[in-house]
Amino acid sequence: MSLDTQKIRKDFQILNQIVNDEPLVYLDNAATTQKPKQVLDAVCNYYEHDNANVHRGVHTLAERATADYEASRDKLRAFINAKSRKEILFTRGTTTGLNWVAKFAEQILQPDEEIVISIMAHHSNIIPWQQAAEKTGAVLKFVYLKNGELDMADLRAKITDKTKFVSITHVSNVLGTINPVKEIGQIAHAHGAIMVVDGAQSAPHMMIDVQELDCDFFALSGHKMAAPTGIGVLYGKEELLNRMNPIEFGGEMIDFVYEQSATWKELPWKFEAGTPNIAGAIGLGAAVDYLTEIGLDNIRQHEMALIDYVMPKLCEIDGLTIYGPKNNTKRGGVISFNLANLHPHDVATALDMEGVAVRAGHHCAQPLINYLDVPATARASFYIYNTFEECDKIIEAIKATKAFFGV
Ligand code: PMP
């Protein structure tokens, strides 16, 4: 079954608007996706009917809010096929998830032990590791690229028995590259290292099975998968989460508190200090329902069809440079490009004048941008509601930009 974009678009009122006298073409989905009515209704319904704090009250609203919040956890467990709901921690997003894992690294890393990440990592998968290395005396090593993909020979050389953590982006938010994280996890495990996956750009777009991937941690962001901002999930294997100290302390995460000490609740609540983002979690649960109904395989197929359609047309444009893997099957729905010698900010501004929303900049991946030796890139990124007509529109808009600047 393929995906019915026209039906889907009816759920996204925001797409139905004119920007700079042109119909909006929203191609900034790697930054954040739009939210369907079903998700907005779930959030609204919670505030209008059930709003109360969770896990505390015995009154009816508190029980309803708790049930809905915990039901979302179950939905997320099923969505990524975790073994247990204890392994699903609600966070603010991928950044928080990766910071928490790096805090665990600080807890166990010894001087001269090693952390391996890649040059295509997002800042949120670099800086927490820099901090962990600085605090523990561990060494941070980078894997570099070959033809827009991870250089697996370099990866095999960098992962050694000294490696304790390997943290790899599942899908690059700049290059679109889909990394073989299952295989990388096998290499990491063969050396006794912990495998961490940054799933910010994969979980929204393809079927994720953390047991099949056999990763130890997997972080995702709700706002990149049709849910509200400020909510995400960190998956961790139960055995590791049991060894991991809580990151934040306060209400909700405790069992007993004495004057000089305290004990923690069991998983997953040990990590969820303070009043959580209840509405966000409920919205994320609704987003999971929505995406599951469409079918993650259909989503992946749709994005691949869009890429297969637009890529040859982009390649025909004189002066356009495209980054990332040559083979489209190794690419998610992300295309970074530069047009002649134009600054990508100028390109993005010109495209906006045509109603086409793309991002320009370093995409929170400055080491990668330096490595590519470009000042920045423009980036178009696709999702469930994007159409072939919109692909044609960005091609026309790039051609118009080229003509306008005379390049
Ligand atoms: N990793 C990747 C690959 C991303 O694309 C992003 C968001 N751009 C993040 C991590 C961080 O996600 P968030 O800002 O939602 O925490």
Domain ranges of the chain: 5-27+295-405, 41-293
Q: Determine the Cα–Cα distance for residues 151 and 311; give it in Å rounded to an integer.
A: 23
pLDDT confidence of 2, banded at 50, 70, 90? confident
What percent of the chain lies above the pLDDT cut of 90? 99
Dist. CA 94 → ligand 1 center (Å): 6
Ligand 1 in reach of 28 Cβ (< 6 A): no
Q: Where are the alpha helices (DSSP H) in 191-295?
A: 210-213, 238-243, 278-294
pLDDT confidence of 238, banded at 50, 70, 90? very high
pLDDT tens profile 102-134? 999 999 999 999 999 999 999 999 999 999 999
* Residue-level pLDDT at 1: 56
* Residue-level pLDDT at 250: 96
Q: Determine the Cα–Cα distance for residues 394 and 351; give it in Å rounded to an integer.
A: 8
Amino acid residing at 103: K
Q: Determine the Cα–Cα distance for residues 290 and 99; give it in Å rounded to an integer.
A: 29
* Residue-level pLDDT at 122: 98
Among 2, 382, 346, 344, residue whose Cα is nearest residue 176: 382
Q: Determine the Cα–Cα distance for residues 90 and 96; give it in Å rounded to an integer.
A: 10
Average pLDDT, the chain: 97
Beta-bridged to residue 22, according to DSSP, are: 19
Q: Which of 364, 366, 368, 369 to mutate to test the pocket of ligand 1 (most atoms within 8 A of CB)?
A: 364
Q: Residue range 236-261: average pLDDT?
A: 97
Assessment of whether the complete model's pTM goes beyond 0.90 = yes
pLDDT confidence of 212, banded at 50, 70, 90? very high
Domain at 41-293: CATH architecture: 3-Layer(aba) Sandwich (3.40)
What are the structure tokens assigned to 122, written together? 């997002």
- ipTM over 0.95 threshold: yes
Residue 224 CA, closest ligand 1 atom number: 15
What are the structure tokens assigned to 140, written together? 């941070």
pLDDT tens profile 66-81? 999 999 999 999 999 9
Domain at 5-27+295-405: CATH architecture: Alpha-Beta Complex (3.90)
Is pLDDT above 60 for 379? Answer: yes
Mark residue 62 as left, alpha or beta (left: phi above 0; alpha: psi -120 to 50; beta: remaining).
alpha
Dist. CA 53 → ligand 1 center (Å): 28
Q: Residue range 312-341: average pLDDT?
A: 96
With a CB cutoff of 8 Å and minimum separation 6, the contacts of 133 are 109, 115, 139, 140
What are the structure tokens assigned to 205, written together? 């777009």
Q: What are phi and psi of 20, to 5 degrees?
A: 50, 45
- Which residues are part of the catalytic machinery? 364
pLDDT confidence of 57, banded at 50, 70, 90? confident
Amino acid residing at 263: T
Which is it for the CA torsion 353, 356, 362, 368, positive or negative?
Answer: negative
What are the structure tokens assigned to 288, written together? 């999971």
Kind and range of the H or E run holding 377: strand 377-381
Instruction: Please check whether the two domains, 5-27+295-405 and 41-293, share a CATH topology.
Output: no
With a CB cutoff of 8 Å and minimum separation 6, the contacts of 34 are 12, 14, 15, 26, 226, 383, 385
